[in-house]
Amino acid sequence: MTTRGPVLLIDAYNIFAKNYIVNPSLSSNGEPIGGATGFIKSLSVLADKHRPSEIIVCWEGGGSRRRRDMLPTYKAGRKPLRLNRSELYKKDLDSPENFLWQVQLAIRLLENLPIKQMYVDDCEADDVIGWLCRHRLREDERQIVICSADQDMHQLLRPNVIQYNNKKTITHEDVVAKFGISTENFVTARAFIGDKSDRIDGIRGVGFKTLARKFPKLSKDAFVSVDDILTECKLRNSQKKMKLYESIIAQPDVPKLNWRLMYLDISNLSAEHVKQLNYRYDNAQVGRNKFAFIKTMVKEGLHVPGHINADLVWLRLSSIDRE
């Protein structure tokens, strides 16, 4: 019996944004197109590296309304992405409009390739990936590879789920070695630490090293809850007062709220979200139209093979199942 290749779960915005920032390509119309072309190239490289049986590209759906309701400052005030080679472009081309156009171009190009795309309104790509790992693909015997640089994905890692970023594989064991925290308890730790990138405040003075040293059980696979840590802090502080324990005890609502914001499951999805996710996974249109792929490129001023080597992309995606 032939073992099927892994499932690649693509954190689309994460990979697209990297290419958008650093790729200086211009179309024949003078439009920046590095995000779209670099994204397609990145997918073909990932396919060549992992030889997957399935690729699922997960796009942002406008952010999470539930999280914003819980924390109005969630992801607020983020600076727009800027090209770090912007001197090559006219200023008016480095714009949110161009970024959106490139995202739409990437989506249209992918429609002709053997790749599933997942998008649901008011649903973050993280939540889609979390739902796939914890629910839809939970009993799948294939290896699952999450392609993302996002630390939020560490919580999803287990024996058959790994993360891949910058040509490096990240496993459960790698997370324990680096942070002293198991993937099972990664969200519990981060609930106390916070996440500056998402404007989620933690408790001052609390970091991974401190938590790993004071609560070594967080490195184990047995789940440790926020309440477990709060209870232990109260007990220890009653025996010997310590600033760390006092700070944590004084702000119990902070880690409790952060847990709800950070945990990737269905808790931040509505029943309608889950219904749509199931429907879109089951009915995702997978294309195998090389002519339409090239035609779309030419129409938008992309050079073949200068911007994208269509033959190479096609060859690298040939390993994907035709089921």
Pick the CATH number of 180-262 from 3.40.50.720, 3.30.70.3270, 1.10.150.20, 1.10.3720.10: 1.10.150.20
| pLDDT band of 306, cuts 50, 70, 90 | confident
**How many Å apart are CA 261 and CA 200, to the nearest integer?**
9
CATH architecture of 7-170+270-313: 3-Layer(aba) Sandwich (3.40)
- Please give the pLDDT value at position 1: 45
Amino acid at 237: N
Contact, 40 vs 314, CB < 8 A? no
Rg (CA), the chain: 22
Domain boundaries, the chain: 7-170+270-313, 180-262
pLDDT tens per residue across span 40-84: 999 999 999 999 999 999 999 888 999 999 999 998 877 666 666
pLDDT tens per residue across span 76-106: 877 666 666 555 445 556 688 889 999 999 9
**How many Å apart are CA 270 and CA 266, to the nearest integer?**
8
**Which two structure tokens, joined as six digits, stand for 262?**
């950070």
Read off the pTM.
0.93
